Structure 1
Amino acid sequence: MFTLQKLCFYILNLFDLTLKFNGFPIKKAEIALEGIQQINEDVFEVYINEKKQAIVDFHLKNNSFYKELAKDAISLDWNSIPVMTKRDLQQTLDKRLSKGFTRKNVYINKTSGSSGDPFVFAKDKFCHALTWALIKNRFGWYGLDFNSSKQARFYGIPLDKKSYYKERFKDVLSKRYRFSVFDLSDKAFHKYLTVFKSSKFDYINGYTSSIIQFAKFLERQNLNLKTICPTLKACIVTSEMLFENDKVLMETQFGIPVINEYGASELDLIAFQDPNNNWLVNSETLLVEILDKNNNVLPLGQEGRVVITSLYNKAHPFIRYDIGDIGILSTQSTFKKPILEKLIGRTNDIAILPSGKKAAGLTFYYITKSIIEDDGNVKEFVIEQHKKNTFIIKYVSLYELSVEKMKLISKEMEQYLEKGLHIDFERKHQLERSKSGKLKQFSSLIQEP
């Protein structure tokens, strides 16, 4: 008999039930995650070594694509395991699936293509459920529950009708209201405020750049979001770089903690800021390494390529997978609690200068940012490198940058990089975002010889 008690249960557990209905064993995954988290620190290295050996063995035996890629791999010798790149994976998915897995019994999605190398990937259903179990666990650090907490979502949305309504339906099931990031005008933000006034949101989640713009709007209006929507507990930003001064601005205007998330759709949640302000790396389901250009593991505290192994994905190998980012693991890291000290940017976002010197694009984006936004005129901007000596700064502003300001920016960029650079400025009505709504803060349009 269908009772009121059962109805209440379904309503209160709608997110979990939706996962279960689609074949993702969330309860089994949550039990498994709890078991991993109970492993003592002193034997956690043993757990990691066993899992990485097991996943290599599995794919060498059951995945012809990986067997061909890792011809000389020996699971007991980690140095023999090759580093995979996105280019390796740009072939038909059916060729990359492990024995026993088909498109009908796996979770399939595609990467955003923000790195320039998009591809379709797969996860077995337990692995995908484990991803959600981990996300639920991390959000729980801040009193947030996917089954009951209401989300104010700052994301893009597909514009074709079928995909649009599919996303809206998923929003309803996931207790979230979506604010489009494709219109960041004051007129749109005033409408957003009306929604916040009439809704009991528990948290904000979405792309960093769009949420920053909303915080700047609140600053111009001299408003604090917590007074407008008192139920708010936290703001979680993802997919784009978060700078410290932007975090301070958001926490001031929102009146809630701002939490930094780092993840990849093809892998898992990679790192999540804990209540002690540590960017804690996911050690439960991933192995995160920092490698040099020769694929050697770097000591803690040194900058290098972020390379990740998915310890549970049997449907598709992600073993020593170069995600395309540059980062540093803290010297305070342990096997159970690795800490991401810094995420510097993407490996393909490197500026190559006339002298041959290289610089991380986000480095001088940050230098320019401190000058260009000091008076509140510029809402947002991006930097493009068109030639080794030519950069274009595209910006959205209330009024055009003064000649003095342009000269100051050019001078600072030359001081931190090198002399002889040509800096152009283009004022835009709005900046071009990717189809998903992300804003690429630095882009190099030249190729290294």
Structure 2
Amino acid sequence: MFKWLYKIGQQYRNPSISKWYVFLKNSEKWTKKELEIYQFKKLKELVEIAYNHSDYYKAIFDKNNLKTNDIATLEDIVKIPILEKDELLKLNKEIHTNKRFKKRFKAITSGSTGKSLSFYREESADSFNRASIMRGYSWYNVKPWNKNGYFWGFNFSFKDKIKTTFKDYLQNRFRIFNYQEETFNTFVKKLDKASYIHGYSSAIYHTAKLINQKNIPKPSGIKMVKGTSEKIFDSYQTEIKKAFGVKMISEYGATESGIIAFECKFGNMHVNMEGVLVEEIENELIITNLQMHSFPVIRYKLGDYVRLAPEEKECSCGMQHQILEEVTGRIGSDVYGKENVYPSFTFYYIFKNLDKKEKIQLNYQVIQKEKGKLIFKIEQKLLKFEKELLKKEIEKYFTNDLDFIILEHQNLLSEGKKMKSFVSEIS
């Protein structure tokens, strides 16, 4: 029944999704050269549409004495100026194209960085993005209409909760609204019939811990646990494997870019090259959405620190798509010392080093309320030597420029919200 509900809904909302899915299943077998040829074809198409139908891009090209024919290779994309988040927000109307589409959907970003963006995405681009997710699911033998558990917010008004419950029913989906005993037990019983679970990685991890603490037998049918929107700590995996039988895999993307990368069974995050063109400039991700024409996103500074794998790196799955080796962290508020300013990804390396050198895996959140001071919240209870090693690692990066305290055994879960590894309260 749910398969047909899905198919009916798909035909009504996203009629081109089947075409895109077939295309993507074929293109996942392409060589790197074939993928790059397709990327260039889509880039040329995008640039022509942006110049001829978007006031913003026409002005940008003319201001820089740039012609669409100047983009003669993939590498020539660097001739186009980088697009900042503030421009995307302030010049929203000018960026939109005047090109007509049969169907468009309004998309709204989460605003987790404090600035929410809304724009219109045409049906073809929306369907391509959904088909990209379906392709990732196919690597785990999962269908989108299979029964699934969802972790994506808990705090709703009564009216919104009823509406959400109805939508979840249509999508064969169930979610956990809070961790009260009765609600939790109901959710866990439904896991026995689920094929996959997905959503905020911190909420999935928290649920896995509760399941293990209560010695609840792991469900037998879970094929995929997908974390998205948040950092997946390495230390999550032990609890998740014990609770669900499989490790958590990562889906990486953004509303304005679409799916950027999806993790395969061999643990590599393959870039969705048919949909995006990625650049790494001084560890920052610059993204071009190759499929969206209603709201062109070209060379957009997304706001994440990343690391692309070397070109020669190969994956045992056989796909030749680029590999995204690390999503290091969110580019956001700076860390203010007494004298100096530090990038927030410094915390990533502090805890990465602890794991790599000392085999100490910690879940953390760092909070700064005033300059020169940090609060390190650690979920685990630390042994004395572990705490000393953490102190030394922090001091190695900040020397005497920052005072800090370490709080152990902390609850990092923020119900219904995205968990940030660094929170700055300094304006």
- TM-score bucket of the superposed structures, by smaller chain: 0.7 to 0.9
2:197 equivalent to 1:192: no
Give the TM-score, by structure 2 length.
Answer: 0.84
2:404 to 417, 423, 427: 423
Aligned residues of 1:361 and 1:443 also touching (Cα < 8 A)? no
Partner residue of 1:17? 8
Structure 2 counterpart of 1:167, which letter?
A: T
Structure 1 counterpart of 2:187, which letter?
A: Y
Deviation, structure 1 residue 375 = 11
Deviation, structure 1 residue 67 = 2.2
RMSD: 3.4
Distance 1:13 1:195, change over 3 A: closer
2:69 equivalent to 1:84: no
Partner residue of 1:339? 323
| Structure 2 residue runs without a partner (length 5+) | none
DSSP 3-state at the match of 2:327: strand
2:244 to 232, 254, 257: 254
2:164 equivalent to 1:167: yes
Partner residue of 2:288? 309
DSSP 3-state at the match of 1:354: coil
**Mapping for residues 196-211 of structure 1, pairs under 5 Å:** 196=191, 199-211=192-204
1:144 to 139, 142, 145: 142
Deviation, structure 1 residue 423 = 1.9
Instruction: Render the CA deviation track for 1:136-187: whole Å, top value 9, x for unaligned.
Output: 111011010013x11111111562355433332221122111113xx34677
CA distance in 1, matches of 2:360, 2:279: 40
Give the TM-score, by structure 1 length.
Answer: 0.80
Distance 1:187 1:365, change over 3 A: farther
Partner residue of 2:340? 356
**Mapping for residues 21-420 of structure 1, pairs under 5 Å:** 21-34=12-25, 36-37=27-28, 39-70=30-61, 71-72=63-64, 73-75=66-68, 76=71, 77-91=76-90, 93-101=92-100, 105-147=103-145, 149-157=146-154, 159-180=156-177, 183-184=178-179, 189-196=184-191, 199-225=192-218, 229-292=219-282, 304-331=283-310, 332=312, 336-356=320-340, 358-359=342-343, 360-363=345-348, 366=351, 382-394=365-377, 409-420=390-401
CA distance in 1, matches of 2:412, 2:353: 17
DSSP 3-state at the match of 1:419: coil
Deviation, structure 1 residue 91 = 3.4
CA distance in 1, matches of 2:213, 2:155: 30
CA distance in 2, matches of 1:152, 1:19: 20
Distance 1:336 1:54, change over 3 A: farther
Aligned residues of 2:200 and 2:228 also touching (Cα < 8 A)? yes
DSSP 3-state at the match of 1:242: coil
CA distance in 1, matches of 2:125, 2:118: 16
CA distance in 2, matches of 1:14, 1:390: 54
Aligned residues of 1:37 and 1:284 also touching (Cα < 8 A)? no
The count of residues paired between Structure 1 and Structure 2 equals 410
Partner residue of 1:298? none
CA distance in 2, matches of 1:420, 1:322: 30
Deviation, structure 1 residue 221 = 3.0
CA distance in 1, matches of 2:197, 2:239: 15
Aligned residues of 1:325 and 1:346 also touching (Cα < 8 A)? yes
Aligned residues of 2:24 and 2:135 also touching (Cα < 8 A)? no
Aligned residues of 2:360 and 2:386 also touching (Cα < 8 A)? no
Distance 1:395 1:385, change over 3 A: same
CA distance in 2, matches of 1:363, 1:236: 21
CA distance in 2, matches of 1:351, 1:186: 39
Deviation, structure 1 residue 340 = 0.6
Distance 1:122 1:35, change over 3 A: farther
DSSP 3-state at the match of 2:226: strand
Partner residue of 2:418? 438
Distance 1:42 1:96, change over 3 A: closer
Distance 1:138 1:408, change over 3 A: closer
DSSP 3-state at the match of 2:193: coil
Deviation, structure 1 residue 51 = 1.4
Aligned residues of 2:227 and 2:249 also touching (Cα < 8 A)? yes
Instruction: Render the CA deviation track for 1:402-433: whole Å, top value 9, x for unaligned.
Output: 99987775454223432253224678996574
CA distance in 2, matches of 1:333, 1:114: 33
DSSP 3-state at the match of 2:288: strand
DSSP 3-state at the match of 1:100: coil
Aligned residues of 1:154 and 1:205 also touching (Cα < 8 A)? yes
Structure 2 counterpart of 1:220, which letter?
A: Q
**Mean Cα deviation higher: 125-134 or 249-258:** 249-258
Aligned residues of 1:392 and 1:425 also touching (Cα < 8 A)? yes
